[in-house]
Structure 1
Amino acid sequence: MFDTRLSRRTFLTALGAVAVAPTTAHAAPRSPALRSGGRRVAVLGGGIAGLTAAHELIERGFEVTVFEPTALGGKARSIPSSGTGSGGRADLPGEHGFRFFPGFYRHIPDTMRRIPFQGNPNGVFDNLVAGSAFRMAIPGGPDLTAPASIAPLRPDVLDPASLQESLAAAFSLGGAIPPHELAVFTRKLVMFLTSSLERRHGQWEHQTWSQTLEADGKSPAYRNILVSALTRQLVAARPTVASTRTIGIMGQAFVWNAMGTVPEYGHLDRLLAAPTNEAWIDPWAAHLRALGVRFEMGWAAEALDISSGSITGVRLVDGGGTRAVAEADWYVAAMPVERAVPLWSPRIVAADPRLGAMRNLQTDWMVGIQYFLRRPTPIADGHVAYLGSPWALTSISQGQFWRGDFAARYGDGSAHDCLSVDISDWDTPGILHGKTAKECTAEEIARETWAQMSACLDDTGTGVLDENDVVSWFLDPGVRWDAAQARNTNDTPLLVNTVGSWADRPDARTAIPNLFLAGDYVRTDIDLATMESAGESARAAVAALLEAADSPAAPPARYRLHEPPELEPMRRIDADRYRAGLPHILDV
């Protein structure tokens, strides 16, 4: 441990450190190479971005130290429900929210293949399992179940008319959406698929998903499924504020993945075969330690020192208020946006004015609750979206995907399943207490969430959920009740996309030559707060660091989302129309 009794300039001798920051498809401004030959990297944050950066750097011969104030894995980690295990069993596995690895994720799976796991030829990657269906639970009506994959779409049908027809068949959902409204949706989707990059950034970036889909006046099915479920419940974005560019990028990735048009993509709906720490985070941390990464736990970055245009040290504080300074050659800021922004002092912003724009980025709440049940309750062989639920709920019955006997491994033996639920809307009053989730105590959140799920699942008299089956529940401890204010606070908010926010997001490379950024707020190809964007940004940061250090090591592999070459002629036509000030040819 570094000696905090020395001066505030305590030198980080035995520590090394790590640096990573995400880049994008767009060229980032170059920072000058230091050519210092220094190998010490300090990585500030041990979430997915920080661990990815550490992994890529340690493999390339750098000395890496990760400083993490809370727990490795960040919002992706498991959180044990303390004191619930007995008889040699582990505590019941809570979490911030369930894990979901779409087939178009490629950076995270690539990293997983390089993490050893006993008995797995492909390491942690072999702990991914497939869900075969996606259920949409609708209150007051029959539920809809869609397969996770659709009949392959042939390249020879990628003309606008045939593409719209194929998409209409895929999204018909048993006739739940009126045909004339479905025609609007598919036309808008084809418009985006055939739009030029210029129009995406110049027009769609500044228009909300709800506006583009002309949601006002449409049927509840149209608004609940195509407008809301594809944003609020699937990718944690508000359709009334998220940009069409971002949702369109995610939408087309899901379409190509589901239709099997991209051989490099995996199964659309992939989950872990065990709690996240068991299946991924713990083996990852053990592997990094074996490679030489140092983890300094309990320390949070409080400020960055800068002199002559470069970072000279990071000031740290632990939970007891003890302060120290760590020095390295390179620094990777890999904490969430709300924790990174306070580091940007006036001197830091003067050195890189783009960092000041990050203050415009917004966060929201998307937090999970787990119910541990007395009997297996496989509501669907995959994810469930509770359409029309005020709190925009989604869930996954995890026991069916986890290896081994749940009751024999966790808790006191009475729980046989874990129903993990994500609450995506914390600002709409519920049906039981008439309060928003932010205004409910933990107990009220548990009752309200259960009531909203029951309203969607048990409206046909089938009795899918039985409250007597609940052994216990677990709410993310980042949500804390403030009795004085009669509302919750949240230590782990989530970056949310808003129209025009691309301009406020930085690149992995900064104008400060030894500072790099890694996190889901950095510009990446997957323009959304996800594990994949965190991993992608970290690889971009490492690539920039290698260049700045004049390292001969090859940069980490980076992958682009698929853009069908068959649609390129239509995109060129649209680029000409956009430059001429004309609307998209389908914009009628």
Structure 2
Amino acid sequence: MLRGSLAAAATAGVAATLPRPARAGAAPAGRRVAVFGGGVSGLTAAHELIERGYDVTVYEPVALGGKARSMSVPGTAAGGRLDLPGEHGFRFFPGCYQHIPDTMSRIPFPGNPHGVADNLIRVQSAAVGFRDLPPAVLPVELGGLPQIDPATLRTTLAAMVGFVPELPPQELAVFTGQLLRWFTSSTERRFGEYEYRSWADVVQANGKSAAYRDYLVSALTRITVAAKPYRSSARTIGTIGEALVLAGTGMVPGYQGGVDRILNRPTNEAWIDPWVDHLRGLGVRFELGAGATGLRLDGGRIISARLSDGRDVDADYFVSAMPVDRAVGLLSNDLVDADPRLAGMRQLEVDWMVGIQYYLTRSTELPEGHIAALGTPWALTGLRQAPMWAVDFPSRYGDGSVVECLSVDISDWDSPGILYGKTAKQCTRDEVAEEVWAQLTAWLNNGTDWLRKQDIHSWFLDPGVRFDADGTTGNDTPLLVNTIGSWDNRPEATCAVPNLFFAGDHVRTHIDLATMEGANESGRAAANGVLDAAGDSATRATIFPLFAPPVFDPLKQLDADRYRAGLPHLLDG
């Protein structure tokens, strides 16, 4: 498939050039919207609705931005500087994200012609670490592909994962063959088969070498989506994997910016604060310190919501943009009776993926990009932040001695570590910091001097993790994990109650993963649901489908016929 063919095929999905509706004056009666949750999905719903003349109030119990926000480390500023920047985890904006950049382009930022979107910068490489082996520095983009077809794709996939040490060639062939099977599988097979099989089962992990199981199956899955490969829906993993591969080719017009992009300063400075300021300027009201705890249903409609501070909220439309572990608290018996499909939300599972930041007095000399410590017990990934930010870090933050912030995500809180032999959930706060550093050092300092303990000025662990006096731990900010068959339990943005809508990473979306992109898409879908319910003729918020190379369409159609006939995929032999 030539680059021009791809461009023509993708044109229908590119709608960012559509004119944006200007906000009208005061909203007329019947257009009051209460949005519960000020994370990415809630802010997105508010953004789309305020642009279309609705009266929007966002209720957020903790902090605007949710899991996407950055936060100050209290008491770390000196000499007129700002506090050191902390966060839930580092931000990652792959090229297959379409909704987030579109929203960012509509948020003004001083000096940026394309608003906040111009604060995204492209990352060219990644450092990959292995235990007892020298780390590898790899390009994150493919580039130079003459076309996308089955043969080229299989060769490309083999090149992408061929760096894994001690991987038998025949097992590499199995892995790439199963990925090619995904690319050529029909929608019917993806939802009818892949959704009900684990990723480990689909890529035939049983009986393979330790390198295959530890690196290709477990590590790549854990660091990409914080998912357990033996319990995760293969359809979910295949969906994001396909999107990342296509973004890396640079051949899809809608997937611009390469595989990997980051923000050029702390998230709140680069994105969240300008977004909130813009929404306030358009008329959105924000009420902090209280969240929804219940909904009152009467006559088949929601007539009010109860807040955690005891107040009742009246509105014409209600949007639950809360994380699923909190949204299920709204599911009264009356509400589930009104729409029995909502009961499935109670079956959804959440897991931990939490960040820690190390503030260093010496530059690590790590490559300027993401870090993947493949095979670490706690599935660690990281990012050097300060070198890629458009600010002078020591002059702006802390006491002037910190020159670099190394942000690390902990994706596995249930496996024993190498230092204390305990899971992250069993460790104290200090032990978590020491264990993460020990694993990073063991994986990255083989023949390098990148990480030195004496360079640690301080560290900051996401305050959403609670270390209670009785020795137990909790997490106020878990995220949805897409377990086998969980699509059946996930809600649409709309439901049988005509003035109630759902947004968040548990809502069905194209990206089908707990991501900022999925949250943004779900917020748009909820806003469109409000427009439909109101009988509003305003332009709908754009929903971008994931790109599928047309060259595979004949093979997918053949597979659809075979699936309906009860036959296996052609590559099953």
TM-score, normalisation: structure 1: 0.91
Q: Is it true that 1:108 corresponds to 2:95 in the alignment?
A: no
Matches of 1:152 and 1:516, distance apart in 2? 44
Query: Kindly tell me: are residues 332 and 280 of structure 1, through their superposed partners in 2, closer, same or farther at Cα, counting changes over 3 Å?
Result: same
Q: How does 1:88-487 map to 2 (within 5 A)?
A: 88-155=80-147, 158=149, 160-173=150-163, 177-266=167-256, 267-318=258-309, 323-460=310-447, 462-484=448-470, 486-487=471-472
Q: Does the CA-based 8 Å contact 2:164-2:211 persist in structure 1? A: no
Name the SS for the 1:248 alignment partner.
helix
Q: Does the CA-based 8 Å contact 1:209-1:247 persist in structure 2? A: yes
Name the SS for the 1:173 alignment partner.
coil
Name the SS for the 2:535 alignment partner.
coil
Q: Quote the offset at 1:164 in angstroms.
A: 1.8
Q: Does the CA-based 8 Å contact 1:144-1:174 persist in structure 2? A: no
Query: Kindly tell me: are residues 37 and 575 of structure 1, through their superposed partners in 2, closer, same or farther at Cα, counting changes over 3 Å?
Result: farther
Q: Is it true that 1:580 corresponds to 2:565 in the alignment?
A: yes
Matches of 2:220 and 2:144, distance apart in 1? 21
Q: Does the CA-based 8 Å contact 1:385-1:393 persist in structure 2? A: yes
Q: Does the CA-based 8 Å contact 1:378-1:397 persist in structure 2? A: no
Deviations 1:68-106 (A, max 9, x none): 000000000012110101111111101000000000101
Matches of 1:170 and 1:389, distance apart in 2? 20
Question: Equivalent residue for 1:18?
Answer: none
Matches of 1:341 and 1:558, distance apart in 2? 26
Matches of 1:108 and 1:378, distance apart in 2? 31
Aligned partner (choices 551, 564, 568) of residue 536 of structure 2: 551
Q: Quote the offset at 1:225 in angstroms.
A: 2.8
- The letter of the residue matching 1:114 is R
Q: Quote the offset at 1:176 in angstroms.
A: 5.0
Matches of 1:216 and 1:92, distance apart in 2? 46
Higher relative contact order (CA 8 A, sep 6+): 1
Q: Quote the offset at 1:317 in angstroms.
A: 1.7
Matches of 2:164 and 2:412, distance apart in 1? 27
Q: What fraction of aligned residue pairs are identical, expressed as a percent?
A: 57
Name the SS for the 2:474 alignment partner.
strand
- The letter of the residue matching 2:243 is A
Query: Kindly tell me: are residues 265 and 536 of structure 1, through their superposed partners in 2, closer, same or farther at Cα, counting changes over 3 Å?
Result: same
Question: Equivalent residue for 1:38?
Answer: 30
- The letter of the residue matching 1:482 is D
Matches of 1:402 and 1:242, distance apart in 2? 35
Q: Quote the offset at 1:161 in angstroms.
A: 3.7
Matches of 2:446 and 2:259, distance apart in 1? 29
Number of matched residues?
545
- The letter of the residue matching 2:495 is T
Q: Is it true that 1:79 corresponds to 2:102 in the alignment?
A: no
Matches of 1:188 and 1:568, distance apart in 2? 18
Structure 2: gaps spanning 5 or more residues:
1-27
Matches of 1:136 and 1:220, distance apart in 2? 18
Tell me the C-alpha RMSD between the 2 structures: 1.3
Name the SS for the 1:408 alignment partner.
helix
Name the SS for the 1:234 alignment partner.
helix
Q: Does the CA-based 8 Å contact 1:154-1:261 persist in structure 2? A: no
Question: Equivalent residue for 1:491?
Answer: 476
Question: Equivalent residue for 1:562?
Answer: 547
Q: Quote the offset at 1:145 in angstroms.
A: 2.4
Name the SS for the 2:102 alignment partner.
helix
Q: Quote the offset at 1:144 in angstroms.
A: 2.4
Name the SS for the 1:299 alignment partner.
coil
Structure 1: gaps spanning 5 or more residues:
1-35
Deviations 1:527-556 (A, max 9, x none): 110000000011111111101101121101
